């Protein structure tokens, strides 16, 4: 992983959570992509979008290990400054992530560097490796500026399925949270 962004030309952005279904920025191409060395996990306490300081929820991060299938967006060079500013505001309200330029395997495009927001394991909102039961307890009933935490989990499971990805752990987690909220 490199901390330096490519100079000039179009740039890629990697989404593994809500960026997959709600990018919120202009792009010229969207492709399925894989990032090696990280995995999708509910490992960040949410005190902004899906919870509060009084009642934290959980949001996704990229925890070390494995590989994660997500989406790569190609952003035109002319749009990059505006898109980058938008992404920093959206992804960094409490600076729980750090930016890296990581190589992705992009379907139909080979390997390319992409902007990736990685979980900062030294940040106070790092939840670490939680059991599914602990995750369900935190997600059930939590809500923040972007709405109920369970909606984020439902969107994730639904959009992963639409992209042909069955994540059995996330599906099991959703069932556990739905049972708690029933």
CA–CA distance, 18 with 125 (Å, rounded to integer) = 18
So which residues are the catalytic ones? 91
| Nearest to 119, CA basis, from 61, 60, 40 | 61
Domain chopping of the chain, boundaries: 11-181
What number does CATH give the domain 11-181? 3.10.490.10
pLDDT at residue 97 in the model: 78
For the stretch 12-55, pLDDT in tens is: 999 998 899 899 999 999 999 999 999 899 999 999 889 999 99
CA–CA distance, 1 with 113 (Å, rounded to integer) = 9
Q: What pTM does this model have?
A: 0.85
Beta strands, E only, 16-159? 29-46, 57-75, 97-106, 110-119, 143-144, 147-148
Mean pLDDT over each residue of the chain, to the nearest integer: 90
Q: Where are the alpha helices (DSSP H) in the chain?
A: 80-91, 132-139, 149-162, 168-181
Q: Which two tokens stand for residue 32?
A: 């399925």
pLDDT at residue 2 in the model: 45
């Amino acid at each position: 992983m490199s901390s330096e962004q490519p100079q000039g030309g179009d740039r890629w952005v990697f989404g593994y959570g809500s960026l997959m279904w709600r990018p919120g920025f202009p792009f010229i191409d969207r492709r399925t992509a894989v990032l090696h060395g990280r995995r999708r996990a509910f490992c960040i306490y949410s005190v902004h979008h899906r919870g509060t300081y009084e009642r934290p929820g959980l949001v996704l991060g990229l925890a070390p290990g494995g590989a994660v299938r997500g989406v790569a967006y190609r952003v035109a060079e002319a749009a990059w400054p505006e898109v980058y500013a938008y992404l920093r505001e959206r992804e960094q309200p409490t600076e729980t992530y750090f930016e890296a330029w990581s190589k992705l395997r992009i379907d139909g495009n080979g390997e390319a560097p992409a902007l990736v927001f990685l979980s900062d394991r030294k940040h106070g909102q790092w939840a670490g490796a939680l059991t599914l039961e602990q995750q369900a307890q935190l997600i059930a009933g939590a809500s923040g500026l972007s709405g109920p935490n369970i909606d984020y989990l439902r969107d994730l499971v639904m959009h992963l399925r639409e992209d042909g990805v069955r994540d059995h752990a996330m599906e099991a987690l959703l069932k556990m949270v739905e049972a708690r909220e029933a």
